[in-house]
Structure 1
């Protein structure tokens, strides 16, 4: 697929997906379709072991394209189809077997904030700020994404007021993993992605699957699931290589089997 609003680059087992829809990377139907296509492709590519998702033009994403929404013709099924596309983009990131690092600079608002929260890790610079302003533009949604990262009262505050929250506060709360100066942002993301890409892709996938699947399970059922995943992983070639490398005091070479 030829992308109109995305730049995709792959090097050293790391894919960098950059949203480029000036001025603020608003999420239109078209860019959402491109994101869905890109992450589905990257999920299956054997030459990719980690993914960076970033925004260009000094913004990660200002969220839903309100102008497009205002012009939407509410014919039969239109809103259902759009809503399906919106949620499937989030799922494509969450369900991707490769770890996804969100790199934030500037605003990440509404659906753009939810997109960042769908990633496995978040790195931001001091210019970053986030908000859920849906209450002010005739929309609603995002409670589930906020509940995964914030206390109940903070999630309510963000959704009910639409207030901005700074990168420094997000870092203090543990939502942002690293806070970096702007010139260090992408090098830090690439360093983290390289560290992830060096791990066994099977182990990475099983761990990510575990996080997604145990979220709504009881402690007993969730840990039982993780034990089953560990048993399956222990029978792979990568697991045997990891053990040999540990005993031989060398770096393991993983092949994804």
Structure 2
């Protein structure tokens, strides 16, 4: 697993009892970015191909600061690629994994087979991007509806 950790700089990856745990490694809020979503796609592809991995535990969330930086630069092709390609691929990658996927929820839990929600109160589940005017891609939004 040490080689894998070097390969995915935005993820902390561990394997215990045949469960691959994928945690974001992006301090301060561990939010999704272009690099993280790309790493997630590769990590789930790896989990699907390795026989001794029997399941995946994912911990995630979307980074509004990363999205804001892209919008401030006003480079439309970069924004479009991130919103309509990268986020959509990152959100659907658990659907394509051949192993069961569980998610520890402290944000979105798109396309996971099992979801564990904490006991802290108050607790809300929402699409926070909409509150600050960030466009939300169709594919992840459709996944949330189901």
TM-score by length of 2: 0.79
CA positional deviation for 1:137 = 1.7
Aligned to 1:146: 144
Q: Which has the higher contact order (CA 8 A, sep 6+)?
A: 2
CA positional deviation for 1:13 = 1.4
Aligned to 2:86: 85
Which contiguous aligned blocks of 4+ residues in structure 1 show a shift greater than 6 angstroms?
none
Cα distance change on mapping 1:70 and 1:79 into 2, 3 Å: closer
Task: Tell which deviates more after alignment, 94-103 or 17-26.
Answer: 17-26
Q: Secondary structure at the match of 2:125?
A: strand
Q: Which structure's CA Rg is the greater one?
A: 1
Listed one character per residue, the Cα deviations across residues 157-205 of structure 1 (whole Å, up to 9, x for unaligned) are xxxxxxxxxxxxxxxxxxxxxxxxxxxxxxxxxxxxxxxxxxxxxxxxx
Listed one character per residue, the Cα deviations across residues 73-131 of structure 1 (whole Å, up to 9, x for unaligned) are 425x3334222111111221111110100012xx41xxxx1xx1311110111125322
Decide whether the 8 Å contact of 1:24 with 1:62 is kept in 2: no
Unaligned runs of 5+ in 1: 55-59, 149-257
Decide whether the 8 Å contact of 2:24 with 2:31 is kept in 1: no
- Measured in 1, the distance between the counterparts of 2:14 and 2:71 equals 34
Aligned to 1:27: 32
- Measured in 1, the distance between the counterparts of 2:144 and 2:91 equals 13
> For residues 52-201 of structure 1, what are the structure 2 equivalents within 5 Å?
52-54=57-59, 60-64=60-64, 65-74=66-75, 77-82=77-82, 83-104=84-105, 107-108=106-107, 113=108, 116-127=109-120, 129-141=124-136, 142-148=140-146
Give 2:42's match in structure 1, choosing from 37, 41, 63: 37
Unaligned runs of 5+ in 2: none
Listed one character per residue, the Cα deviations across residues 196-255 of structure 1 (whole Å, up to 9, x for unaligned) are xxxxxxxxxxxxxxxxxxxxxxxxxxxxxxxxxxxxxxxxxxxxxxxxxxxxxxxxxxxx
Larger helix share, 1 or 2: 1
CA positional deviation for 1:46 = 1.2
